[in-house]
Amino acid sequence: IYILGIESSCDDTAASIIYNGRILSNVIANQKIHEAYGGVVPELASRAHQQNIVPVVHQALEKAGITKNELHAIAFTKGPGLMGSLLVGTSFAKSLAYGLNIPLIDVNHMQGHILAHYIDEDGYNKPPFPFLAMTISGGHTQIVKVDHYFDMTVIGETIDDAVGEAFDKSGKILGLGYPAGPEIDKRAALGNPKAFKFTKPKVDGLNFSFSGFKTAVLYFIQREVKANPNFIEENLNDICASIQYTIIGILMDKLKLASKQTGIKNIAIGGGVSANSGIRKALKDGEQKFGWTTYIPKFEFTTDNAAMIAIVGYLKFLEGDFAEQNVVASARLKI
């Protein structure tokens, strides 16, 4: 079964072909234009998707070595995401499926981040049910109990900012480029994680909060820079290491609690922040410390990609779960 997956929920235009769960191609066009603005500008994102979508899909087919007439279905991201961005992928997928007279499959982007673990990849195991998935990305921070592919329950989530924003906004305060997550990760490896202390927010249960953390970083930096204008340059690696250490602590505390409350020890991570080397190590350490079996995605499936949309499309195809031609994008789609 050949499935074309299309992802356009934020600022990456992506297309992927998978054949019976194995990737044949996985193409992404990043939109550099947003860097100058320090964040994604929705109008510009939508326009760039319109320019990218045809060549990106064309390239995905070409790399896979198939023609569009061989496709069995088209899967696309229905939401959540930026409406203007989602509309481009949704409209394109609908027209192509209509033109080819093949089924259309709508995909929830956050389910994609979780089910990316079911892409057939040598050396990677698929999590058995039930498992806990912590999805940590630019717009979400969730702990999801996964009983089956499409039987998922969010048991904890952020009440304000997402963890990716905590990285990116802290980076902005430090004068780093956007998105700052990857650079904080790199610098953290060179710094002392205990150089500076940030208090962790107190949130009951399995929910998260990151807006107070961002403010704490801001006030800390403002205070230190007042005393020493070169504070940031002189301590950048230590600051990054301390920020990352605190964020990982917040995530791991909740994950431990979730595992304890549910009794589930199969633990997966997904989403852009799961590319972070510190969080990957902390999770792996959980195998020894808590008897977990952990599932850490291949780097290319952490940040937004279309392979994760195509694999959900494949799983839905097997269940005969198709979308109608009048399906619409949904910016706030829930799991």
Question: Contact residues for ligand ATP (CB under 6 A)?
Answer: 9-10, 81, 109, 113, 137-140, 164, 167-168, 179-182, 185, 271-273, 275-276, 303-304
- Cα of first residue to Cα of last residue in the chain, in angstroms, is 26
| CB nearer to ligand ATP: pick between 278 and 286 | 278
Residue 159: DSSP 8-state: S
**Interatomic CA distance for residues 313 and 76, integer angstroms:** 8
Cβ atoms of residues 100 and 72 within 8 Å? no
Q: Which of 77, 108, 135, 137 is in the footprint of Fe ion by CB under 5 A?
A: 137
Q: Which of 176, 304, 308, 316 is in the footprint of Fe ion by CB under 5 A?
A: 304
According to the binding rule CB under 5 A, does residue 12 interact with Fe ion? no
**Interatomic CA distance for residues 34 and 41, integer angstroms:** 6
Pick from ligand ATP, Fe ion, none: which does 273 bind, CB < 5 to 8 A by kind?
Answer: ligand ATP
Half-sphere exposure of 284 (CA within 13 A, CB side): 9
Which residue is closest to ligand ATP by CB?
272
According to the binding rule CB under 5 A, does residue 276 interact with Fe ion? no
Q: How far is CA 161 from CA 139, 167, 210, 252, 273, in A?
A: 8, 10, 5, 17, 14
Amino acid at 10: C
Torsion, Cα of 255, 261, 262, 268 (10° steps)? 10
Pick from Fe ion, ligand ATP, none: which does 103 bind, CB < 5 to 8 A by kind?
Answer: none
**Interatomic CA distance for residues 110 and 309, integer angstroms:** 10
Pick from ligand ATP, Fe ion, none: which does 81 bind, CB < 5 to 8 A by kind?
Answer: ligand ATP
Tell me how far the alpha carbon of residue 318 is from its chain's centroid.
25
| CB nearer to ligand ATP: pick between 7 and 64 | 7
| Residue whose entry in the numeric block shows the structure tokens 């969080």 | 279
| CB nearer to Fe ion: pick between 107 and 239 | 107
| CB nearer to ligand ATP: pick between 276 and 294 | 276
| CB nearer to Fe ion: pick between 161 and 304 | 304
- Residues near Fe ion (CB under 5 A) are 137, 304
List residues forming the annotated binding site for Fe cation.
109, 113, 304
